[in-house]
Amino acid sequence: MPDSQRLRILLVTRNLPPLVGGMERLNWHMADELSKTADVRVIGPSGSAAMAPAGVTVREARLQPLWKFLWQAGVLARREARAWKPDIVLAGSGLTAPIARSTARLCGAKTCVYVHGLDVAVRNAVYRTIWLRAIRGADRVIANSHATAELCRSVGVDPARIGIVHPGVDLPAEAADRIQQGPEPSSRREPGSGAFASGSVVPGGAAQFRQAHRLGDRPLLLSVGRLSTRKGLREFVSHALPRIIAARSGALLLVVGDAPRQALHAEAQTPESIRVAAEAAGVGEHLLFLGVITDYAELGAIYRASDVHVFPVRHILGDPEGFGMVAVEAAAHGLPSVAFATGGIVDAVAEGRSGHLVPPGDYAALADAAIAALTERESLRSSCIEFARRFAWPEFGMRLQRHLHSLISVTPTSNSP
Give a yes or no: residue 198 inside a domain: no
pLDDT for 111: 98
Residues 210 and 139 in one domain: no
| Rounded Cα gap, residues 376 and 307, in angstroms | 9
Residues 163 and 270 in one domain: no
- How many C-beta atoms surround the C-beta of residue 277 within 10 A? 21
pLDDT for 381: 94
Q: What is the pLDDT of residues 159-190, one digit of tens each?
A: 999 999 999 998 887 655 544 443 333 334 44
pLDDT for 187: 37
204: pLDDT confidence band, cut at 50, 70 and 90?
Answer: low
pLDDT for 322: 86
pLDDT for 193: 36
- 2-27 average pLDDT score: 86
* Candidate from 103-107, 243-247, 333-337, 409-413 with smallest mean pLDDT: 409-413
Residues 160 and 247 in one domain: no
The answer to whether 413 and 6 have CB atoms below 8 angstroms apart is yes
Average per-residue pLDDT for the chain: 88
Could you tell me which residue, 185 or 24, shows the higher pLDDT? 24
122: pLDDT confidence band, cut at 50, 70 and 90?
Answer: confident
- 213-218 average pLDDT score: 95
Give a yes or no: residue 361 inside a domain: yes
pLDDT for 296: 81
- 102-129 average pLDDT score: 93
Could you tell me which residue, 230 or 44, shows the higher pLDDT? 44
Give a yes or no: residue 21 inside a domain: yes
- 132-158 average pLDDT score: 96
pLDDT for 174: 62
Residues 48 and 28 in one domain: yes
The answer on pLDDT for 329 being more than 70 is yes
Here the CATH number for the domain that contains residue 99 is 3.40.50.2000
pLDDT for 230: 87
What is the value of pTM for the model shown?
A: 0.83
Query: What is the percent of the chain with per-residue pLDDT over 70, rounded to a whole number?
Result: 88
The answer on pLDDT for 248 being more than 90 is yes
Range(s) of the domain holding residue 266: 206-389
| Rounded Cα gap, residues 356 and 366, in angstroms | 9
Give a yes or no: residue 66 inside a domain: yes
pLDDT for 258: 85
Reduce the DSSP state of residue 199 to 3 states and report it.
coil
Q: What is the pLDDT of residues 299-322, one digit of tens each?
A: 999 999 999 999 999 988 877 888
pLDDT for 414: 44
21: pLDDT confidence band, cut at 50, 70 and 90?
Answer: confident
Residues 316 and 259 in one domain: yes
Residues of 326-361 as b/e, b for ≥16 C-beta within 10 angstroms?
bbbbbbbbbbbbbbbbbbbbbbbbbeeebbbbbebe
The number of domains in the chain is 2
Query: What is the percent of the chain with per-residue pLDDT over 90, rounded to a whole number?
Result: 75
Instruction: Give the pairing type, strands 337-340 and 308-311.
Output: parallel
Residues 147 and 266 in one domain: no
Residue 177, C-beta contacts closer than 8 angstroms, at least 6 positions apart:
none
Q: What is the pLDDT of residues 372-416, one digit of tens each?
A: 999 998 999 999 999 999 999 999 999 999 999 999 864 444 443
Residues 217 and 104 in one domain: no
Give a yes or no: residue 51 inside a domain: yes
Residues 255 and 396 in one domain: no
Give a yes or no: residue 305 inside a domain: yes
The answer on pLDDT for 265 being more than 90 is no
Residue 177 host element (H or E): none
